[in-house]
Amino acid sequence: MTTESLELRYRKQIAVWLLVCCALVFAMIVLGGATRLTGSGLSIVDWKPIMGVVPPLSEADWQEKFKLYQLSPEYLKVNSHFDVNGFKQIFWLEYFHRLLGRGLGVVFLLPFMFFAATGRIKKQEFPKYGLMFLLGGLQGLMGWYMVKSGLVSDPNVSQYRLAAHLMLAFVIYAYMFWVAMGLIFQPTDGRRDLLYSKSLWLTGLITTTVLSGAFVAGLKAGFVFNTFPKMNGQWVPKGMLALEPGWRNFTENLMTVQFSHRVLAISTLLMIVVFWFYARNRGMPPRARPAFHLLLVTGLIQVGLGITTLLMIVPVTLGVLHQGVAMVLFTLAIYLNHAYRGNVTW
């Protein structure tokens, strides 16, 4: 095997590893949504990164965990009717969410050590992968920081911390996915397609819409104003600027948060449609065209899901699906950016 073919083989191995990590991050985000929607996120009131891998194994262990939960504001104000069996039902989802996060760390670290030891990853590339690992550790801390906000007096996590936790997950996912794409698709002359700047703006709009959705989730704003297209019988509901200073309405006012998410979602879909009509007959890299068409289809599905989820008052299955499709839409946008950028790696 020639040096060139061996190098190509190593690049594909590393890319597969990174894509597996991306899939786990994807699963983490979807499972995190399910944890939130089922009210499971505050069931584990301590954080033990190592010892927390072992779940309660005996009735005494369960009673000890349950006693800790009984001191939490969620139990005192929401779930005081729970016995230990009710506690078990919400415990397991949060446990698997945390376990998946720990597993992701192992899946990232061990192959990295192997690739580094065998020279598949060069020393000059260590900072790139070190940053990924650092961001992953920071994400774990951010998750606990978010949970802590719901263990003080109000049995709801801070919407600001939830949004930061979600967006950091998106950053980690995008970074690993981008590097993987650079390994799979050989660099060209670096010439950018004319569509690159437009797809970049579209990705920014998609990301902003996801961020606004995080505030909807954090405030549970999807459980109110469950009509469409009007809210409370009005196109522009009164009371959207009730809080002072004005900026607080976009992060703390349920009405404003839901309204802005609606506007952003519809605007994003309209921009996807405009982008599709503008670019459909233009030349583009061959690998971009399937994703280009899928972006339109996924955008239509996502808005339909969002409206249906709202009208049905956020059933868990639809809520989780809505979050998952948002990830698919984001993935397609990142992929198109890479294709239009000319396969230039970071």
- Is pTM, for the whole model, over 0.85? yes
> What CA dihedral angle connects 325, 331, 335 and 341, to 10 degrees?
120
Region 91-101: what's the mean pLDDT?
A: 96
pLDDT at res. 44: 95
Query: Across the strands, what pairs with 231?
Result: 234
The count of other CB atoms within 10 Å of the CB of residue 286 is: 8
Kindly report the number of other CB atoms within 10 A of residue 116's CB atom: 15
Percent of the chain with pLDDT over 70: 97
Dump pLDDT digits (tens) for 310-328. 999 999 999 999 999 999 9
Structure tokens at 252: 């703390």
pLDDT number for residue 8: 87
**Going by C-beta distance under 8 Å and a sequence separation of 6 or more, which residues neighbour residue 303?**
265, 266, 269
Q: What is the pLDDT of residues 239-295, one digit of tens each?
A: 999 999 999 999 999 999 999 999 999 999 999 999 999 999 988 889 999 999 999
Structure confidence by residue, pLDDT tens digits, 115-126: 999 999 999 999
In this predicted model, what pLDDT tens digit does every residue of 33-83 receive, in sequence order? 999 999 999 999 998 888 789 999 999 999 999 999 999 999 999 999 999
Q: Which tokens hold the place of 193? A: 């397609």
Would you say residue 344 has pLDDT above 60?
no
Cis peptide before 237, with omega less than 30 degrees from 0?
Answer: no
Q: Predicted confidence band at 302 (pLDDT cuts at 50, 70, 90)?
A: very high
pLDDT at 207 > cutoff 60: yes
Residue 85: pLDDT band with limits 50, 70, 90: very high
The β-bridge partners of 234 are: 231
Residue 192: per-residue pLDDT: 72
Give the whole-angstrom CA distance, residue 282 versus residue 223: 43
User: What pLDDT is attached to residue 3?
Assistant: 74
- Whether the pLDDT of residue 148 is over 50: the answer is yes
